[in-house]
């Protein structure tokens, strides 16, 4: 079986580097710097899972998510949100609008790996 592809979307290079460091041994990684770039890469690369920052300039994670879900070709791809505003932005509200899960900053390697594995496996079951 081929390795699952994970699309990482974040405007912060340090966050992208950290996520890639946590995930590259198990998954093929695709990088996007903003929501528009992420939509293009989701369409062209058809990742198995997307991890997107919620707070970004240009197109934030919520607008990205809503645009993704309106596109039938890629609407099925599970999306994990990343936020440092755990208290301000209720995790339940992200789950309620359809995010598969939410990661909170600072990112912990075990949490990232556990959540990504769960989301990818449930998408393929």
DSSP string covering 65-104, please?
HHHHHH-TTTTTS-EEEEES-TTTS-HHHHHHHT-SEEEE
Say if residue 1's pLDDT is above 70. Answer: no
Give the separation between CA 30 and CA 12, rounded to whole angstroms. Answer: 15
Give the separation between CA 102 and CA 87, rounded to whole angstroms. Answer: 13
Give the pLDDT confidence of 3-58 residue by residue, as tens digits: 999 999 999 999 999 999 999 999 999 999 999 999 999 999 999 999 999 999 98
Confidence grade of residue 125 (pLDDT, cut at 50, 70, 90): confident
Query: Topology of 5-123 in CATH?
Result: Rossmann fold (3.40.50)
Give the pLDDT confidence of 48-71 residue by residue, as tens digits: 999 999 999 989 999 999 999 999
Contact 120, 48 (CB under 8 A): yes
| Statement: the pTM of the whole predicted model exceeds 0.75 | yes
Average pLDDT over residues 77-100: 85
């Amino acid at each position: 079986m081929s390795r699952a592809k994970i699309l990482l979307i974040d405007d912060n290079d340090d966050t992208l580097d950290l996520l890639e460091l946590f995930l590259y041994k198990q998954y093929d990684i695709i990088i996007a710097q903003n929501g528009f770039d992420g939509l293009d890469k989701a369409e062209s690369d058809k990742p198995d899972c997307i991890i997107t920052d919620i707070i970004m300039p240009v197109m934030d994670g919520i607008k990205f998510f809503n645009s993704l879900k309106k596109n039938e070709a890629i609407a099925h791809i599970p999306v994990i949100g990343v936020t440092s505003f755990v208290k301000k932005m209720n995790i339940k509200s992200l789950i309620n609008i359809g995010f598969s899960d939410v990661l909170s900053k600072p990112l912990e390697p075990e949490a990232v790996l556990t959540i990504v594995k769960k989301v990818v496996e449930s998408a393929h079951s």
